[in-house]
Amino acid sequence: MKLLLLMYEFFKTGLFSVGGGLATLPFLYEMSDRYPEWFTHADIADMIAISESTPGAIGINMSTYAGYRTAGILGGVLASLALAAPSVIIILIIAKFLAKFRGNRMVEGALYGLRPASIAMISVAGLNVAKVALVNLNAFQLSGSIGDLFVWKALILAVLIFIGLKKLKWSPVIFIALSAVVGIIFKF
Amino acid sequence: MNDLLDLYWTFVKIGSVTFGGGYAMLPILERELAEKRHWTTMDDLRDYFSIGQCTPGIIALNVSTFIGEKRHGVKGALAATVGFLTAPVLLILLIAMFLTNFAQLEIIQHAFAGIRVCVCVLIVQAVLRLWKKSVVDAPSLVIYLAVFLLNVMSFFLPVRIPAAVLVILSGVAGVLISSCRYRKAQEGGEAK
């Protein structure tokens, strides 16, 4: 019964959180208020930190964690599948529709508008990561000098990766792994 | 069957290196699926992301389902999505069982400060590459700027506009702009 309730709650989260990423957060807070024994607000804060340091979207990570806390390994797996289920169902329908209506004037028009919006959202995501990775607002506010605003070693690494990605034909995965090593060695 | 396993395994690999959510996934998908395996094209990937943003669910899962479906129908969609889930679910289970202070470990914090720099550059490159085909004229530039600025400044606005609403409005604007153009082009044709 607990398992069913858990799956129902995460299915609902998957169904109504549009936009991905942190869009699942309001649902998680709500769930925590309703079922404090599943996970607490502090657990969610911990989870945000953990999901920044593990692969996978925060929604997936949170469902696995809450599921495990509530009903063991099976709970973790089932809650994650329940979160994914609405995505799969809805996208399957849209994929069929898209294949049929490709070249349709309405669909092409919608995509014409969606594309720049999509790039804008990706830009914002990049900006948000840059705010954490490349600048240090606290140090800047304390000293007021521009030199303290940027995390210089991170900026140098960013430039090197940028050039490396252009010049070398390596997979991005290699650059991710190397960045982790550089982060550890130079104490980012 | 082998094809399905291949699809599953490819997405296990993608799922295990997608740090920082769906957007960071794009350069990896481009490399693994468009360049190396020719399963899809960069143009299709971009459209999957556009649609994945305004439909319910986690973007990364939406995109996985799309690619899997294109490759192998419903079975392919399931293989890709479950593949994408595999590594994160296993990892969180391990952390929940053994390493509750995982995120506080100093070495992990340094490693991820490094990874965030890389993710940031990957996203910038994805934007640069998609720019030419997405921001093609003045109206599309206006849409880009409007969505970008409304998002960045939402902190100062009295009501936070959900990203999904912005994306859907952009789609509607796209339909209106193109049908206006179509009508103009037709009138022009008749005048001749």
Nearest Cα residue in chain A from B183? A105
Regarding whether B111 and B92 lie in a shared domain, the answer is: yes
Number of domains composing chain B: 2
Question: How does residue B86 score in pLDDT terms, banded at 50, 70 and 90?
Answer: very high
Regarding whether A111 and A29 lie in a shared domain, the answer is: no
Residue B130 or residue A162, greater confidence: A162
Contact A110 B174 (CB under 8 A): yes
Regarding whether B187 and B116 lie in a shared domain, the answer is: no
3-class SS string, chain A: CHHHHHHHHHHHHHHHCECCHHHHHHHHHHHHHHCCCCCCHHHHHHHHHHHHCCCCCHHHHHHHHHHHHHHHHHHHHHHHHHHHHHHHHHHHHHHHHHHHHCCCHHHHHHHHHHHHHHHHHHHHHHHHHHHHHCECHHHHHHHCCHHHHECHHHHHHHHHHHHHHHHCCCCHHHHHHHHHHHHHHCCC
* Residue written as token pair 């971009």: B46
Regarding whether A94 and A6 lie in a shared domain, the answer is: yes
- Cα–Cα distance measured from residue B55 to residue B58, given in angstroms and rounded to the nearest whole number: 9
Q: How far is A143 from chain B (nearest CA, A)?
A: 23
Contact B170 A53 (CB under 8 A): no
Residue B109 or residue B1, greater confidence: B109
ipTM: 0.78
Regarding whether B116 and B93 lie in a shared domain, the answer is: yes
Structure token digits, residue A61:
């990570």
> Which residue out of B101, B117, B131, B181 would a mutagenesis test of the A interface target, given it has the greatest number of A Cβ atoms within 10 Å?
B117
Regarding whether B118 and B142 lie in a shared domain, the answer is: no
Closest of B87, B64, B94, B88 to residue B77, by C-alpha: B64
Domain enclosing residue B101, as ranges: 1-133
- C-alpha distances (whole Å) from A41 to each of A26, A38, A164 are 11, 10, 41
The percent of residues above 90 in pLDDT, for chain B, comes to 28
Regarding whether A67 and A81 lie in a shared domain, the answer is: yes
- Cα–Cα distance measured from residue A168 to residue A174, given in angstroms and rounded to the nearest whole number: 11
pLDDT tens track for A110-138: 889 988 988 888 788 788 778 878 887 77
Structure token digits, residue B112:
């991820």
Regarding whether B151 and B106 lie in a shared domain, the answer is: no
Model pTM score = 0.77
pLDDT tens track for A64-111: 988 998 889 999 999 999 999 988 998 999 888 887 877 788 888 988
Residues of B in contact with A111 (CB under 8 A): 47, 50, 171, 174
> Contact, B163 vs B53, CB < 8 A?
yes
* Mean pLDDT in residue range B138-161: 85
Average pLDDT, chain B: 85
Regarding whether A174 and A117 lie in a shared domain, the answer is: yes
> Contact, B48 vs B116, CB < 8 A?
no
Residues of A in contact with B19 (CB under 8 A): 52-55, 176
> Which residue out of B120, B122, B130 would a mutagenesis test of the A interface target, given it has the greatest number of A Cβ atoms within 10 Å?
B120
Structure token digits, residue A83:
């979160």
Last residue of a domain, one of B133, B152, B182: B133
B134 has a pLDDT exceeding 70: yes
- Cα–Cα distance measured from residue A44 to residue A32, given in angstroms and rounded to the nearest whole number: 9
CB pairs under 8 A between A and B: 369
Regarding whether A131 and A54 lie in a shared domain, the answer is: no
CA dihedral defined by B111, B117, B121, B124, rounded to 10 degrees? Answer: 130
The count of other CB atoms within 10 Å of the CB of residue B77 is 25
Q: How far is B67 from chain A (nearest CA, A)?
A: 9
* Mean pLDDT in residue range A22-49: 79
Domain enclosing residue A40, as ranges: 2-101
